[in-house]
Structure 1
Amino acid sequence: MFEGVYPALITPFKDNQQRELDLEGLKSNIDFLISQGVHGIVPCGSTGESATLTFEEHEEVIKKSVEVADGRVPVLAGTGSNNTAEAVRFTKAARDIGADGVLVLSPYYNKPNRSGLVKHYEKLADLDIPVVIYNVPGRTGQNLLPDLIIELAEYPGIAGIKEASGDITQVSAIIEGTRDFDFTVISGDDAMTLPILALGGGGVISVTANVEPEMMVKMYESFESGSLDEARKMHYLLSPMFRTMFIETNPIPVKTAVGMRGMAAGPLRLPLDELDKDKKEILKGVLERYD
Structure 2
Amino acid sequence: MERFEGVYVAIVTPFTPDTTGVDYARLAEHVNWLIEKGVDGLVPCGTCGEYQQLSSEERSRVVETVIEATDNRVPVIVGVAAPTTVQAVGWAEHARRSGATGVMALPPISYKPTWAEVVAYFQALSDAGLPIMIYNNTHDNATDVTPDLLHELEQIENIAGVKEFSGDIRRIPEILEKTNLQVLAGADDLALEGLLAGAQGWIAGLANAIPEQCVQLYREVKAGNFEEATRIYRSILPLMRWDSTPRLVQAIKYSMELAGQPVGVTRAPRLPLDANDRKAVEEAYLGCVQVLKS
CA distance, structure 1, for counterparts of residue 284 and residue 168 of structure 2: 27
Secondary structure of the 1:251 match is: helix
Q: Deviations 1:132-171 (Å, cap 9, x if unpaired)?
A: 1001011112211110011112223011100100011222
1:100 paired to 2:101: yes
Alpha-carbon offset, residue 191 of structure 1 = 1.9
Alpha-carbon offset, residue 263 of structure 1 = 1.3
Contact 2:209–2:261 (CA<8 Å) still a contact in 1?
A: no
CA distance, structure 1, for counterparts of residue 201 and residue 175 of structure 2: 15
RMSD of Structure 2 on Structure 1 (CA): 1.4
Aligned residue identity for 1:146: P
Contact 1:10–1:48 (CA<8 Å) still a contact in 2?
A: yes
1:89 is matched with: 90
Aligned residue identity for 1:26: L
Q: Which runs of 5+ in 1 are unaligned?
A: none
Q: Which runs of 5+ in 2 are unaligned?
A: 290-294
CA distance, structure 2, for counterparts of residue 188 and residue 245 of structure 1: 9
Alpha-carbon offset, residue 247 of structure 1 = 5.5
Which of these residues, 260, 264, 267, is aligned with residue 266 of structure 1? 264
1:4 is matched with: 6
CA distance, structure 1, for counterparts of residue 77 and residue 117 of structure 2: 24
Aligned residue identity for 1:15: P
CA distance, structure 2, for counterparts of residue 74 and residue 273 of structure 1: 32
TM normalised by structure 1 equals 0.94
Contact 1:190–1:207 (CA<8 Å) still a contact in 2?
A: yes
Alpha-carbon offset, residue 248 of structure 1 = 4.8
Q: Deviations 1:213-234 (Å, cap 9, x if unpaired)?
A: 1111111111112222222222
1:256 is matched with: 254
1:242 paired to 2:240: yes
| Identity percentage of aligned residues | 33
2:278 is matched with: 280
CA distance, structure 2, for counterparts of residue 120 and residue 250 of structure 1: 28
Secondary structure of the 2:162 match is: strand
Q: Deviations 1:51-74 (Å, cap 9, x if unpaired)?
A: 111111111011000011101100
Aligned residue identity for 2:235: L
For 1:1-291, list aligned pairs within 5 A.
1-16=3-18, 19-178=20-179, 181=180, 183-246=181-244, 248-291=246-289
Aligned residue identity for 1:284: E
CA distance, structure 2, for counterparts of residue 22 and residue 148 of structure 1: 39
TM normalised by structure 2 equals 0.93
CA distance, structure 1, for counterparts of residue 250 and residue 286 of structure 2: 18
